[in-house]
Amino acid sequence: MNIGFIGLGVMGRPMAAHLIKAGHSLASCINVSDIDPDLIAAGLHISESPAQVAAQSEVIITMLPDTADVEKVLLADNGVLSAIDPGKVIVDMSSISPSETRRFAAVANEQGCEYLDAPVSGGQVGAESGKLTIMVGGDPKTFDQVRPLFEIMGSNITLVGDVGSGQICKVANQIIVALNIEAVAEALVFASKAGANPARVREALMGGFAASRVLEAHGEKMIQRKFEPGFRIDLHRKDLNLALNAARELGLGLPNTASAMQLFNSIAAQENGGSLDHSAMILALESLAGHDIG
């Protein structure tokens, strides 16, 4: 299949590599300085613009940082929708606004194209291993058409509902992850200040009802003070902002999400804080407690 893949960042690069390895032809449009020589060697074709990518592709995948980036790639004068033919499929795998996703899909549908929103979870490790969780919104027939591509990039693939449902699911995912990080951080700060060894506390809790992937992976990072980014605080702040904006539109209160956002904000306000892994939320709680667990 001829695939356009726009957004070859930390996540997009390994996802695109899996598609090329599976035998698909890939085209992208990136600055010369961003070109990955390994992808070029594997057969990636470089186009001049999103419009050119769309013209030569059957399925166009976007994997971009934020809503504004997707809007520019799709709707700008040289964007995907300026040159796409009816019958083609756009798959946005970015994590963006659910309401804007529906708007983008409506424009695509008006031009006779199908649209799926398919944000992912699993981070860089999941992208590199081809074991991402993929949450999809859109038409079931289009989902079935694209599913073989999803299966190359992910291992847990779910059609959640209509267009926008994938983004709603991803926002819910990010709420859960943020609140779990906050819970683990609070527990470890409490245990340490009360006089217990936080590493031993974590080990004990891993065998009980409090066990979780966040306690396992992020709890270890907190104890070992390893805050190199797997998922940056700035990206998690972006996702929680989507949650809080959507909640405002719905007249819904998300008090603990707002609390997690403020803790992330306090770290991001420090030099390079937003580039730390989201497990570094514990630094804000340590500051409030006047106590470091390390």
Based on the residue annotation, tell me whether 170 is a catalytic residue of this protein.
yes
Which residues lie below 8 Å from residue 230, measured CB to CB, with a gap of 6+? 123, 124, 125, 277
Per-residue 3-state assignment (H helix, E strand, C coil) for the chain: CEEEEECCCCCHHHHHHHHHHCCCEEEECCCHHHCCHHHHHHCCEECCCHHHHHHCCCEEEECCCCHHHHHHHHHCCCCHHHCCCCCCEEEECCCCCHHHHHHHHHHHHHCCCEEEECCEECHHHHHHHCCEEEEEECCHHHHHHHHHHHHHHEEEEEEEECCCHHHHHHHHHHHHHHHHHHHHHHHHHHHHHCCCCHHHHHHHHCCCCCCCHHHHHHHHHHHHCCCCCCCEHHHHHHHHHHHHHHHHHHCCCCHHHHHHHHHHHHHHCCCCHHHCEHHHHHHHHHHHHCCCCC
Active-site residue, from 131, 170, 221, 238: 170
The neighbour count for residue 148, using CB atoms within 10 Å, is 11
Residue 85 in contact with residue 108, Cβ under 8 Å?
no
Which residues are designated catalytic? 170
